[in-house]
Amino acid sequence: PKLIEALPDPFKMVEKELQPFSDSIKELVSTDQPILSMAAKHFFEKRHGKRFRPTIVQLVAKAVAAATPDTGVPSGNVQWSGASTLAEPVTPENHQGSDVWRRQAQLGQIVEMIHVASLIHDDVLDEADTRRGGEAVHKLYSNKVAVLAGDYLLARASVLLARLENTAVVQIMATALESLVAGEIMQLKSPPETLLEMETYLRKSYYKTASLICYACRSTALLGGHVYDSAAATACEEFGFHLGLAYQIQDDILDFTAAASVLGKPALADMDLGLSTAPILYAAQETPSLRALVMRRFKKKGDKQAALEALYKSVTAMDKARALARFHAQVSFDFTFGT
C-alpha cells in the first residue's frame, strides 16, 4: 500500500466546494433570539476551526461518486437500504452541482453543527475556558446559555437532517448522537480497574470521536446512491472509524506536547480531568507505580506531577502512542485505495 506521505493536501482538494460553507451555516442557525443567535453563530464566524468533518464528507462524496453501486436487491430491512434508487447514477463527471452533491454538502454542514454543539457542551463539562483560540461560549455568556446554544444547534441539525428525506441516514446520524453521549458518560464513570485498559480507552475514543466521523462517512455513501450494506458504504465507515481513532489519539498526544497557544484550547488538561490517554497508558505498562494514580484519576496531591515525570522518563511511551495513531491513519488511508 501507498504511504500517507504520498497524499496530496486533502484540505486543498475540496477547498472550492467548502468556500460558501460558513456563510450558509450562519444563515441556517439564525433565530429571532439574539443571544442564542450570537452564541450559536460564534464558531461559524471568525473561529471556524479546520472544518475537518465537512472536508472528510466532501472527500468521501467524491470517492463514492467514482465507485460502482452494488447491484441486486438489498438484503435485510428495506428501511436501511437508503437512497438506492437514484434517478440518475452519480459519476465523477456529473457529481458536483447535482442533487446528490447538494445533499452530501448539507450533511457536511449538519455534521459540523453537531460537532460544534458537542464542543460547546464539552467545554461546560470540562470547565475549559478557551476554544479555537478564543473564549469558550460559556465564558462569553454563561453555562445556561451554552447548554441552550448547544441544544439549539442540535435541534437545527435535526431539522436539516430530516430535510434530506432519507430515513436510513436519519437513523445512522441519530445513532451517532447516542454514541457521543455514551462516550462522554463512559469517560466520566468508567470503573477504576478498567481505566488501565487500552481497550476501554479505544472504545471510549470510538464513541466520543470516531463514531460521528464514521457514521457521517457511511451516510455520505448512502446519499451517493450506495445501499446500506454495500461494499462502498462499509468501506466508508471503516475509513472513518480508523481516521477518527487516529484523530483522537493524536489529539490526546497533543494535550501533552503542544502549547495552549498552538492548540487554541487548554493544554495538559486531560490529567486535570482525571483522564488517562494513550501516552499515560503506555507509560503505566512500563512503570507499575503509575497504575494506582491512573485508577484514582490523579486525585491526590502530587499525582499529576508524578505521572508526568513517569511519562517523560519513559523511553517508549510517547513513541508507542504516536505509532498507534499512525497505524490507524495508515489503515484508514489504505481504504481509499481499496487495499
For residues 327 and 166, what is the distance between their CA atoms, to the nearest angstrom?
34
Alpha carbon 201 to its chain centroid, in Å, reads 16
Exactly one of 17, 126, 237, 255 binds Mg ion (CB under 5 A); which one? 126
Residue 134, classed as helix, strand or coil, is strand
Exactly one of 41, 51, 132, 265 binds ligand FPP (CB under 6 A); which one? 265
252 sits near Mg ion (criterion: CB under 5 A) = no
226 sits near ligand FPP (criterion: CB under 6 A) = no
Which entry of ligand FPP, Mg ion, none binds 150, CB below 5 to 8 A by partner kind? ligand FPP
Letters for 174-203 (x = contact with ligand FPP by CB under 6 A, - = none) are ---x--xx--x-------------------
Exactly one of 4, 35, 125, 260 binds ligand FPP (CB under 6 A); which one? 125
N- to C-terminal Cα separation, the chain = 7
Q: What is the dihedral of CA 188, 194, 197, 198, to 10 degrees?
A: -30
For residues 209 and 237, what is the distance between their CA atoms, to the nearest angstrom?
13
Residue 237, classed as helix, strand or coil, is helix
Letters for 201-220 (x = contact with ligand FPP by CB under 6 A, - = none) are -------xx-----------
Cell of 231: 461494499
Which entry of Mg ion, ligand FPP, none binds 332, CB below 5 to 8 A by partner kind? none
Query: 325: closest CA among 254, 235, 233, 276?
Result: 254
Amino acid at 126: D
Chain positions contacting ligand FPP, by CB under 6 A? 114, 117-118, 121-122, 125-126, 128, 150, 154, 177, 180-181, 184, 208-209, 265
Residues forming the site for Mg ion (CB under 5 A): 122, 126
